[in-house]
Amino acid sequence: MEPIKHFTRNDVGRDVVVGDVHGCFQKLRGALDAIKFDATVDRLFSVGDLVDRGPDSDQVLEWLNKPWFHAVRGNHEQMAIDFARGGIPADWYMRNGGGWNISNPQHVSAEIADAFHALPIAIDVETVNGLIGIVHADCPLRRWQDVRLALTGSNSEAFQEALLWSRDRFDQENREEVEGVRAVIVGHTPLVRYSSLGNTIYIDTGAWIARENRPFTILDLETLQPVHQPSRSLSA
């Protein structure tokens, strides 16, 4: 596992990032069609939590094999890893949306866990307007270069947990800028609309909540603005 993965600037297409998918891959496909995503030149980044809760979690390996799709590990990917290794009980995993995976044969759960373990904990992407960082939940450090150092240091596992699970910045309404990046994009905390604290931008807008039929938030990494998605194209 490469804990942090760097991407150079995309000079031929768009780079966009989507909030938590939670097994709603068909809905995501509709959103990409609506923004005229071009898989030959564009790249789609993800803040993680690809699985659980939605109807299409079993498509996750297919999506991870797409050359234009790049995700960080979220806490739900970590739960799948822990379940396959006997680290969490099935009933707890079930309550958190893992039923689709619990019913899989053991070798399939192991294959999924291996694919999730291979995901980076953080991604950074060069754009014409500066470097963008992507993690699942939170960035607890003031400098992005310290994130890189912490992820490759001897105590990286404890730091990884914060990146996967923490809501400290959001709960404390911490508006301190993360130095060394133009913005840090995160998911994990479902909101009615995308929001920011300092240069940390929260883009999990609960598209996976079926009863509310909210759209995915898809940000253009160059402008840090949502890409327009006609609402008629976003039905689940």
- Catalytic residue positions, numbered: 76
How many helices (H) and strands (E) would you count in the chain?
9, 10
Whether the Cβ atoms of residue 137 and residue 78 lie closer than 8 Å to each other: no
Helix (H) or strand (E) holding 37: none
Distances in whole angstroms, Cα of residue 206 to Cα of each of 159, 190, 211: 26, 5, 10
d(CA 9, CA 182): 14
Give 21's Cβ-side CA count (13 Å radius): 35
Q: State the DSSP code for 176.
A: P
Residues 6+ positions from 85 with CB-CB distance below 8 Å: 113
Residue type, 131: L
Whether the Cβ atoms of residue 145 and residue 28 lie closer than 8 Å to each other: no
Report the DSSP beta bridge partners of residue 42: none
d(CA 156, CA 153): 5
CA distance from start to end of the chain: 33
